[in-house]
């Protein structure tokens, strides 16, 4: 996304005593691949149910139906990658978990950052 930024420029010509406004196009200096929030890269997402339970292998999509993939970058042998039945990696499954070194076991599957889950007053949506 780019923005036009007005800048006052004083011209030293006698016929132009007042400063003039010149517009410069400002663009972000860096592009962050993957997900970001307020310009910082997101490394993981911890989804919770309305009653405060940490959810596992939640698939996230944009409003247009695009998977919100968190790229792996260099392959990490410790990352537990969720896969389809055909073996294809699913990179929009959260939270991301990591195996204990040298194993295929996640020692603390319910580990998450400290969060305070608000008590919700809005009734839960009914499923059909």
9 — pLDDT class (breaks 50, 70, 90): very low
In the block, residue with structure tokens 């599957």: 109
Please name every residue paired with 46 in a beta bridge, in sequence order, or none if there are none: none
Residue 87, pLDDT score: 96
Please name every residue paired with 54 in a beta bridge, in sequence order, or none if there are none: 48
Quick check: 57 pLDDT over 50? Answer: yes
Residue 1, pLDDT score: 52
Residue among 25, 62, 41, 53 at smallest CA distance from 115: 53
Pairing of strands 40-41, 36-37: antiparallel
Quick check: 18 pLDDT over 80? Answer: no
Residue among 100, 95, 101, 73 at smallest CA distance from 82: 95
- Predicted TM-score (pTM) of the model is 0.67
What is the average pLDDT across 51-77? Answer: 89
Residue 32, pLDDT score: 55
Contact between residue 9 and residue 22 where contact means Cβ atoms under 8 Å apart: yes
Residues 114 and 61: their CA atoms lie apart, in Å, by: 25
What is the average pLDDT across 61-73? Answer: 87
Residues 62 and 69: their CA atoms lie apart, in Å, by: 10
């Amino acid at each position: 996304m780019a923005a036009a930024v007005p800048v006052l420029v004083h011209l030293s010509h006698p016929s132009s005593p007042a400063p003039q406004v010149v517009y410069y196009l400002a663009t972000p200096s860096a592009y962050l691949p993957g997900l970001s929030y307020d310009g910082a890269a997101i490394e993981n997402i911890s989804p919770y149910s309305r009653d405060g339970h940490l959810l596992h292998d939640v698939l996230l999509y944009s409003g247009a139906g695009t998977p919100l993939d968190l790229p792996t970058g260099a392959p990490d042998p410790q990352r537990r990658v969720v896969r389809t039945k055909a073996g294809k990696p699913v990179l929009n499954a959260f939270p991301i978990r990591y195996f204990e070194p040298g194993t295929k076991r996640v020692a603390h599957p319910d580990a998450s950052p400290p969060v305070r889950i608000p008590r919700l007053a809005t009734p839960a949506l009914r499923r059909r």
